[in-house]
Every structure is written in structure tokens, then in C-alpha cells.
Structure 1
């Protein structure tokens, strides 16, 4: 079955990557079907009822750079004639039950179409009305949505992501604030890209005010934070307590992480860069080098480490023995561009020696 994710568009690659990561975390059998501007269509195998329960539940709760999840009716060229042909042809019984009311909404993505969405809404609504269903513009049971991008995607909304919840957790709204931290939606994306699952351990060795740890904790992870500055550890504790999360915090050195080898499921961190910060190491280069060696040591084989920096952390991670999976670049403002590097600790292959 095809499902569409209407993406936020705040980054070219991260929203899609987040969707794939969340589907993988939940163990769904899927493969990409169609990628267009601000919309990703995925083919998900399995029993429809079970798949949609997961999409409405844990997937919706985890995603941060998606607006809506749709059950796809069909995909067509983005012309009114082709969209209306699709609307005339589909069988509504899989998307709306007898007696339910509906509304049709059209979303134009950038300048991919030059015709008004309102007229299209009316005409698609007429198609569905003629098939025996009642329109209700104010309180419908089912919302049909057409995404007008390089192609047109018609579907019904399964769920919507509460992006206002992320706004309520902006750094200024937390008990302890310190400038220069990641915004909650970005922190949540990083937690999702790490593949962390409920009950697993995630470490931030430069935890600051715990922005990353809060987002990881809210998806059920057990979070551990280390920071060199006592005042930030105190502030991180205030922020984690505010959300009643399962956490451990300590003042310490990211170059000497006090954990045994191969004990952490994932590491996500935003080390100091391009800003005033207490650096125990002699230089930022030395800090990155030794911290990534420690990250490699404490990660379990197969575990993911994500490092945010103003320059590629690739060379330091590779020297530490980590494999680079992906690199994303995010322009924050004119004087700051973040590089998000995703590493993996490779699984050691054991060879059997036969006598």
C-alpha cells in the first residue's frame, strides 16, 4: 500500500531521511516509491490495519519534519484534467466509510502549478459527492488532500504531526536557557536518525542544556549526558526534570567518557564550534579527535554516532575507526553552516577456524 509523507521543506534531505529512519525503527517492510518536492511516497508491505496503527501511533509521535501522513489514492500528472480523471476513477470504499462526511483540501508546493487549488477542491469534492458521500467543510470525518508538486498526489489524511509541540519546547521556553543550542525539531531529527529505540541508551558527551537528550527521552530512550561545565549540567538537569525523563548526568570530559567499552546504543552530540565554550582539550581539533575515539570505544558494534559541527567531522571519525554513512549540510544563517555527519561503528566479523 502506498503512503505519502507531506514534508516540511525546511531541508532538502533531512525530512525524507527522518521518515526512512522512523519506518526502520518500527520494523516496517518498505521501499521508496516516488520522491517529489516536499512529498515522499513509500510503499509499505503488511496488513493495512497494523501498518496504519503504527503510522498513526509511534511514527506520528516521532516525526518532526513532516506535516501529514496520507493514505494514497493515486498519483497523476499535476494538471487539472489528469487530477480530475484520477478523482473520477477511484473507488472510495477503501478511504471513506458509508455515512462518513468529507472535505477536500489542496496544497500547492511552491510554484509547481499555476492554477488555483480552491477550484480543484470543489471539482474533486463533486466527484466524491456523486459517489454518495456527504461534504462537511467544518467538521468532516475524512479529509481528502491533494499535494500539488512536480506531480499530484491524492490521498486521505491518516494523521498530522503536532509541530506546535516542538515550538513549545524552544530553548527560551525551557527552565534553563543558554544561547547557541539546536532547535527541538532538529534535535528530534538527529535522535530519529540515530535509530534509537525505546529503552535503549543514548549518550550526548557535550550535552549542554540537554536539548538533544530531551527529544531522545521523549521517544522513550534512556538518556545520558556529559558536559565540562558545571552550570550546564545543572541546567540540563532542570530541563530533563521538567519533562520527567529517565536520565543520568555528570560533569566530565568527553575525551574520558566514564563508561565501559561497547555499552551505548547511539551517540548524538553537538560539540563546541565557532562559539565561546570551555574546552578541556588544548584545541578544538584535539577535542574532536579524542572525543570521537571515545565515542567509538563506548558505542556498541553497529551503533550510530551523529556529530554536528561547523565543518566536516569526517576525518576525525574515520581516524577513530568509524564508518561514514551520510553527511548533511544545514545553513543556519549567513555566518553559520552546520555539517551533520552520521557514523557507524562497524560490526566485527568473526571467522570460524575449522580443524
Structure 2
């Protein structure tokens, strides 16, 4: 079993940790993650870095730990080719301690040792290899890390950059996180019964899933179709319909952001009643292991509704939108 180092966003630490853990479990169900704030040490029998760097919106960087020891000297006692080759450039970054001057001294000292030891040249602006030193309580680890651009790619797919925009649309980074929490794969059929302008189904389509979006509003349905066309949703469809009468008999995941607030039309129905009715149908047709990820206002008590319908709630994370609105992201299995 190998070890990997990850650095996640601290903006909403619980959500960042949940996203990483969900993706890691897709690769190795027996993997373990130990947290120290925004730093996660992953012990896994299969390398999770590929899926993390491709999909994890809230991960800043990750890589395999190539060495560790009680001191920096110990952590640098590995074969040079395992770290950096002589024809590559590199930089060293230290994630601890918090003291800036001490951290810089550690980086400079480690960089000089690696340069002398491997013959590689230092490049702080555009290195071929990024080496990260992280000091734990009892040891120092050395990681070959890669900075993730998944969040920047998600931001580039932002709601206002799509062909169609509506204020109720979930932004692409958060929609991507929901898809990751639901552990969507390219083989899945993903249902969003309140798809609106298609924020979530677009992110699921990018993963390669077959997506089905449903909405009562014809304008939003047309907008979702336009947005899906931009992101290659060839295996996707959007239906003008009512979530209380699902026009589908099979799915692997339900991922949705039910309507709430003034800008989302519910045609007079209470949001919690809509969600309960939709879930009641979905539970009846769901196969064993089907996943559900619903983001709703706290007042909707989505977790309680899921429990009452016999779903196994495996995770619930809160995100504060503003002073009067907190949303709960609830993940459950059938």
C-alpha cells in the first residue's frame, strides 16, 4: 500500500475533505485518509492521483509520497531517479511549519541538497517536477506533487459563460463537487429531476455519464439543451416534465439542486413536498446501491426525508450561502 499527499481548499474544509474521500473510495474502497487540516495523507493500494487531478474541484495539489523519515535528511535518502532526473528542473515547497522564514530556509536547504545530489536544476517559475516537504509530528515526508487545474477548468465552465444563463443555475464548481460526492462514473445513468438550465447535468456529461434532466419550465429545458450541446452531451436528454411523475424507469444516480427562493419556479408547490414526492418514486425504482446527492436549503430537512424513505444517509455537509441561507448537501445510498 502506497501513500499519497493531498492539499485541499480550506474555504469549506468539510466539503473539500468529503469530495476527496469520495473520489479516493472510487479507486480503492479500502483506502484510508488521515487529515491534518487541509493536508490529507492517503493510504491506498491503487494510485488515486489521476482521478483526483481530473475531477476534484476542491483539491489544490496531490502526489505520491516518495520518501519519509524522522528528519529532512532521512526523507531525501531515496534513489535520485525516484525524485527528479538530471535533465529535469525542479522546485521544493515546504507545507510546514507556519513560520515563513523557517519554511524558506527548509526549502532552500532541501533544494540545494537535491540539486547537488541529482544534478537537476532549480526552477521556481516553471519546474518540471514539484517536490513538497511536509512535516508531521514524528516525521517529514517528501512528495512528488502536481498542482491541480480542475477548479480553474470548472470556473471556465461558469454559468455566465454558458450559452444559456439563469440565476437559479448551480455554478459549475459546486455542481462538479456534487457529481463527485455521488461518485458518478462514465457508465452511470444520472437523473436530475429539477435540472433548470442544466448546471449539474453538464458536469455529469463531462464525466461521460448518460444524463436525464427534467424540468417544468420550457424556457429552462431549452436552455439546458443549449448548454449540453456545448459540453458534448451526446448521451443526454432533457424532458419537459414534472418531478412528481418521473418519466424514467432506471438510473444509477440522482443528483439535484431542488428549487427554492424567489428566482426558482415551483408552480406553487412547496419545495420539500416536491423533493419528498420525487424521492418516494425514485426509491421504488432504484436498484440496490443507487446513489443520491441532493443539495437543499436547511429548512427542507433533506436528510430526514431520505431517512424516512429508507435511504442510508452516508454524508451530510453544510455550506453557508449568506446570513439567512444555509444549504445541506446530503449523500445517501439505496
Q: 1:127 to 1:33 in 2, by over 3 A?
A: farther
What corresponds to 1:344 in structure 2? Answer: 333
- Tell me how large the CA RMSD over aligned residues is: 2.4
Residue 252 of structure 1 and its aligned partner are, at CA, apart by: 0.9
Q: Distance in 2 between matches of 1:176 and 1:266?
A: 25
2:278 paired with 1:278: no
Q: Write out per-residue CA displacement over residues 295-338 of structure 1, whole angstroms, 9 at most, x where no aligned residue.
A: 21232221011111112312222232222111111112222211
What corresponds to 2:213 in structure 1? Answer: 225
TM-score, length of structure 1 as denominator length: 0.84
Q: 1:251 to 1:4 in 2, by over 3 A?
A: same
What corresponds to 2:160 in structure 1? Answer: 172
What corresponds to 1:154 in structure 2? Answer: 142
Alignment of 1:242-261 (within 5 A): 242-245=230-233, 246-260=235-249
Q: 1:30 to 1:284 in 2, by over 3 A?
A: closer
Q: Distance in 1 between matches of 2:325 and 2:134?
A: 33
Residue 93 of structure 1 and its aligned partner are, at CA, apart by: 3.4
What corresponds to 2:57 in structure 1? Answer: 64
How many aligned positions are there?
327
Unaligned runs of 5+ in 2: none
Alignment of 1:138-217 (within 5 A): 138-147=125-134, 153-158=141-146, 160-217=148-205
TM-score, length of structure 2 as denominator length: 0.89
Question: Is 1:202–1:224's contact at 8 Å kept on the other side of the alignment?
Answer: yes
Q: Distance in 2 between matches of 1:3 and 1:101?
A: 22
SS at match of 1:144: strand
Range moving further from structure 2, 138-147 or 214-223: 138-147
Unaligned runs of 5+ in 1: 77-81, 346-355
Residue 281 of structure 1 and its aligned partner are, at CA, apart by: 6.1
Residue 159 of structure 1 and its aligned partner are, at CA, apart by: 5.5
SS at match of 1:343: strand
Q: Distance in 1 between matches of 2:262 and 2:141?
A: 44
What corresponds to 1:17 in structure 2? Answer: 18
Residue 180 of structure 1 and its aligned partner are, at CA, apart by: 3.3
What corresponds to 1:293 in structure 2? Answer: 280
Range moving further from structure 2, 11-20 or 91-100: 91-100
What corresponds to 1:122 in structure 2? Answer: 108
Residue 344 of structure 1 and its aligned partner are, at CA, apart by: 1.2
Q: Distance in 2 between matches of 1:115 and 1:149?
A: 17
Residue 62 of structure 1 and its aligned partner are, at CA, apart by: 1.6
Aligned pair partner of 1:113 in 98, 103, 127? 98
Question: Is 1:200–1:222's contact at 8 Å kept on the other side of the alignment?
Answer: yes
What corresponds to 2:319 in structure 1? Answer: 330
What corresponds to 1:31 in structure 2? Answer: 31
Q: Write out per-residue CA displacement over residues 232-255 of structure 1, whole angstroms, 9 at most, x where no aligned residue.
A: 111111111111212111111111
Residue 168 of structure 1 and its aligned partner are, at CA, apart by: 0.9
